[in-house]
Structures are given as C-alpha cells and as structure tokens.
C-alpha cells in the first residue's frame, strides 16, 4: 500500500472509531437555564431553573412546601424541559361524624293459643342509632372521597315482635302436671289442658339442646343459641314456672350439647351439666366429657360451681361426647358413650363401666351413643346394645341393635327386644298401681320399621312390660308415616297413661292403652319437651 493510501485509510478508521465511541455516550444536559411554570394555590409562577433539574428541585428553588398528602403533576422525579407546566395539587384530610338511624327488624312468633289469623303486638319496634366516622379527602377544596372508618352503636334497635295465631281446631285434652316444650326458639308451658298454654320464654333463640323441668315442675332449664360468638355455642338458663313475671336466670354455663338436668330428690336446687369446646371442624365441637354441678339458692341465684367429673378423653369417639341419666335420687347417675355404659362414682369423680359396646362406625361426622334409662329400683339399666355382625362385616359395621336390661353391678344382661334399631331410646314409666294393689311400670321405646337399616329408617312407638312381655306398637298407626329418629327423650304423664312424642315437627300426646294420638302443636317447629307432675 502506498503511503498516501495508508494515511487515508488510517484517517477513515479514526473517524469511524470516534463516531462509534460518541454513539455509546448518553445525552448530557447542556449548560444554561430553562423556563418552567409552576401553578400552586391558584397562582402561576414563572421560574428559570438550571437545565436538567427535576420537579422536586424546581419546587425547592421556588421555596414551595408540600404537605403530607399533596401531590404534583408531573411526578416529583420527572426531568423538566423548556416550557413544562408543574401543577401542585393541595390535598387535605378531615374526619366527620354522622349520626344515622338503624331500622328495627320485624319478627313474628307463631302462637297456638291465638285463633288462626289473629295478630297481637308483643313489642313495638324502636329504631336504633349509630355514629359513623368518615374520612374525607379534598383536593383543592373539592371533596373527592368519603370513606367510613369507624362505627359506634349509640342505641341498639329494638325489634318489633308480632304474635300470629295458628290455633288449630283441636279438642282440648286434659292433662296432669306440667308439660313444657320448645318450638320456634321459644318455650311454652301447658297446664290443666292442652289449650291452656302460657309463654315461658319468647326470645326466639332457644336451640332445644336442653329442655328440662325440675322434679317438682317449678323450674324450667333451657339453652339459648349464642349469636355471633365464635367461642360460645350456647348458654344455660333457668326460669321459674310459678311466677308469670319471672325473668330468666343466666347460669353462666356455656357450650352444652349432650346433657344438662336438675339433680333429683336433692335437699337444695341444683343443676348438673356436661360441656364441649367449640371447634371449626365438624361436628363443631370437641367434647370435654366432664360433669359440673351448679347449686342454686331458692330464688335461683347461682352459687359456686362444683366439678364432679374432670374433663377426659371419653373413650373411643370421645370427641362426640358422653350423655348422662339420673336415677330416682341424687346418688345414682349413669353414663352412656360410644363404647360403654356404666355408673358415675360421684364420690370419687370416676366412671365405672358396666357393659362394653362395640362402637358403631357411622362413616360420618357424628357418633352413635346408646339410649339409656333407669328402672325404679335404681339397679336396672335399660339400654340399646350394638349387636353381633350378621355376616362378614366388622363388629363396628354390624346393623344389629337390641334393647337390653342390665340388672346392676355384675348382673345379667337380659335381652328384651331384638333388632330395635339404633335410635330406640328406652323410657321408663312412672309407677303404676293396679286394681289388685300390684305396683309395676312399663317401658316405651322406638322400633325401627327397617331394623337393619335403622340409621335411615323411620320408627314406631312401642310399649311393653318391664320384662319385655306384652309388647304393643301404639303410634303411629300402620299405614301412616313413621316417626323420625329423635334425640328428645319420651315423656310420660304423671299417671303413666299418656306419652308425649315428636311427630312431623309437632308435639303429640298418645294414649298408651288405645294408641290414639292428638296433635298439641301445629307450627312444625317443636324440637324438645318435658313432662313433670
């Protein structure tokens, strides 16, 4: 290559290299100033600032202070150019309290003591009041948002309660003693005849888990559903049945699912209950399998609780719970749970199993607990036993359930009725004196219509002598739909000539001799009941 060509080639390479390096270098703000406009507080300000300044720097140069909520357009990090307009938007915050009305609800109570269609106002409705605190945001003195941030109830609304008559044309039936029942979340008391009923509780929140009259009928024990309480399922209450103006008494006992009852033949008024712990998992609780005694004064004042049985695992399927049944006095208390029945040693605070039971496998979130009842001798226990398998199924899956009489500690287990169904729930009548002076009693129970499918079967009411003889199906009559399985125990009249039972959601009274039944309620909402002298 000639020297001239070489110099030209070197010059070209140098030019291209210089251009390439120049292209890799970003733009650089040039020296000098630019003009921008700042609009703030309704005024416009022209400002000369160094080229390459940001919005934030321009505001600082103009000594413009921003509030905590103020904002700018364009944003503060934006690089300004010639002629840019910067707008400062003043944002303020304030709080305003406004009182508003809470409309009252309207509730209706179906009352069978009023003729059908008749209404009666039990409680006028009253609106409530609440204070709502609003957070208000304003931009340039113009409201742009209003958000509620706090609610304070000044006065709770009082619901309007209207009683609606649903009295059906039933012939009044004379009864002895006192018959109490829970229907539609309320409690009622019947005395004299079935048309003479008075309200005990009209709060609409009774859950029917407990509905027990004291031995003399002078007090009623019940549970109320807890509203919006995650840690409380229900609460235990009592009310006098002798005073029409009586107010319910909160016994300060909570989460009662399986058992609460008055202590029989006691020198003082007392209640015993077993509790559970609420759980988010089905069935909604974990049983404590405990026993707590609540002594009461003659006026119903709650005295100090006494623990009779500490919380325990409760055997197999103990999460479901244990139920208890009193004998005729305060010294005899029996228990039933999924894997056994037996006695409660109240002195030592322990359980004495009398008969082991093969726990039934429900394959669901509930557990079967055998029905249990005392004989009048305080020795015999009538209970439902889980029978042996019919074929190759496991003992836990056996469909056989039998009614058994167990004659005391170490006594014989005598079969009284075979294949009764799992929900037989035996009930022993009051003592009956015959014309010849003989004293005896009967046993009533529910018989499954499909005994080998008793979990889903309907039932019939059976009455028999205490030894299993003279067995008769009395209600409902053949051809009528059967009874649904029910947890509410059968209730005998004081003279043992009538039985109270739930049928199609209503309370019925059945004549033991004839089997004739008469409906007592007609709202289809009855869930529990009790009958005492």
Among 140, 155, 170, where does a domain finish? 155
What does the pLDDT look like over 19-47, one tens digit per residue? 444 444 444 444 588 999 999 988 898 98
Tell me how far apart the alpha carbons of residues 383 and 137 are, in angstroms, rounded to a whole number. Answer: 71
Among 136, 155, 174, where does a domain finish? 155
pTM over 0.75: no
92 burial via Cβ count (<10 Å: 0-12, 13-18, 19+):
middle
**Mean pLDDT over residues 517-533, rounded?**
92
* Residue 166 placed within a domain: no
* Residue 118 placed within a domain: yes
* Residue 184 placed within a domain: no
Same domain, 45 and 83: yes
* Residue 144 placed within a domain: yes
* Residue 524 placed within a domain: no
Q: Tell me the percentage of the chain whose pLDDT exceeds 70.
A: 92
Same domain, 73 and 117: no
Pairing of strands 401-407, 413-417: antiparallel
Which comes out higher in pLDDT, residue 522 or 389?
Answer: 389
pLDDT category of residue 262 using cuts at 50, 70 and 90? very high
Residue 43 sits in a domain whose CATH number is: 3.10.20.90
Same domain, 114 and 136: yes
Same domain, 82 and 102: no
Total structural domains in the chain? 2
What does the pLDDT look like over 319-359, one tens digit per residue? 999 999 999 999 999 999 999 999 999 999 999 999 999 99
- Per the prediction, the chain carries an average pLDDT of 89
Residue 126 sits in a domain whose CATH number is: 2.20.230.10
- The C-alpha torsion from 88 through 89 and 92 to 96, rounded to 10°, is 170
361 vs 358, 366, 389, 418, 510, CA distance in Å?
Answer: 9, 9, 13, 20, 34
pLDDT category of residue 300 using cuts at 50, 70 and 90? confident
pLDDT confidence of residue 166: 66
Domain that holds residue 84: 33-89
- The C-alpha torsion from 80 through 81 and 87 to 91, rounded to 10°, is -20
Among 89, 104, 135, where does a domain finish? 89
CB 215 within 8 A of CB 264: yes
**Mean pLDDT over residues 245-252, rounded?**
93
pLDDT confidence of residue 354: 95
* Residue 527 placed within a domain: no
């Amino acid at each position: 290559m000639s020297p001239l060509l070489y110099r030209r080639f070197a010059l070209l390479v140098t030019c291209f290299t210089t251009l390439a390096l120049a292209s890799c270098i970003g733009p650089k703000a040039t020296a000098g100033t630019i003009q921008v406009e700042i609009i703030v507080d309704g005024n416009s300000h022209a400002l000369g600032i160094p080229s390459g300044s940001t919005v934030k720097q321009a505001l600082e140069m103009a000594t413009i202070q921003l509030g905590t909520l103020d904002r700018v357009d364009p944003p503060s990090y934006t690089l300004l150019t010639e002629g840019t307009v910067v707008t400062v938007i003043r944002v303020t915050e304030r709080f305003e309290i406004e009182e508003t009305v809470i409309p009252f609800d309207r509730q209706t109570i179906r009352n069978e003591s009023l003729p059908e269609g008749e209404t009666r106002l039990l409680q006028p409705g009253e609106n409530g009041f609440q204070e709502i605190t609003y957070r208000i945001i304003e931009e340039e003195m113009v409201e742009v948002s209003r958000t509620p941030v706090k609610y304070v109830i000044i006065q709770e609304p009082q619901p309007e309660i209207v009683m609606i008559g649903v009295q059906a044309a039933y012939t009044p039936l004379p009864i002895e003693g006192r018959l109490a029942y829970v229907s539609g979340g309320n409690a009622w008391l019947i005395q004299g005849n079935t048309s003479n009923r008075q309200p005990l509780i009209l709060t609409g929140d009774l859950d029917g888990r407990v509905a027990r009259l004291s031995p003399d009928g002078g007090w009623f024990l019940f549970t109320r559903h807890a509203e919006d309480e995650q840690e409380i399922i229900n609460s235990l209450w009592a009310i006098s049945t002798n005073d029409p103006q009586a107010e319910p008494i909160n016994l300060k006992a909570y989460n009662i699912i399986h058992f609460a009852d008055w202590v029989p033949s006691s020198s003082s008024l007392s209640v015993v209950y077993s509790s559970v712990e609420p759980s988010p998992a089905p069935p909604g609780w974990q049983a404590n399998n405990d026993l707590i005694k609540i002594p009461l004064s003659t006026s119903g004042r709650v005295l100090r609780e006494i623990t009779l049985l500490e919380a325990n695992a409760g055997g197999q399927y103990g999460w479901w719970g244990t139920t208890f049944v009193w004998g005729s006095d305060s010294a005899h208390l029996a228990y039933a749970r999924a894997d056994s029945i037996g006695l409660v040693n109240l002195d030592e605070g322990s359980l004495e199993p009398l008969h082991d039971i093969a726990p039934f496998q429900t394959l669901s979130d509930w557990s079967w607990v055998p029905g249990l009842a005392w004989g009048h001798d305080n020795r015999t226990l009538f209970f439902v036993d889980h029978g042996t398998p019919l074929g190759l199924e496991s003992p836990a899956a056996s469909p056989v359930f039998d009614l058994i009489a167990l004659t005391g500690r170490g006594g014989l287990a005598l079969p009284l009725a075979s294949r009764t169904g799992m929900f037989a729930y035996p009930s022993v009548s009051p003592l009956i004196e015959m014309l010849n002076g003989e004293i005896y009693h009967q046993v009533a129970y529910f018989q499954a219509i499909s005994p080998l499918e008793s979990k889903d079967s309907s039932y019939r009411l059976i009455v028999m002598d205490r030894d299993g003889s003279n067995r008769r199906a009395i209600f409902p009559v053949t051809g009528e739909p059967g009874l649904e399985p029910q947890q509410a125990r059968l209730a005998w009249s004081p003279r043992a000539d009538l039985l109270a039972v739930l049928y199609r959601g209503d309370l019925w009274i059945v004549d033991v001799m004839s089997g004739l039944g008469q409906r007592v309620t007609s709202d289809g909402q009855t869930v529990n009941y009790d009958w005492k002298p």
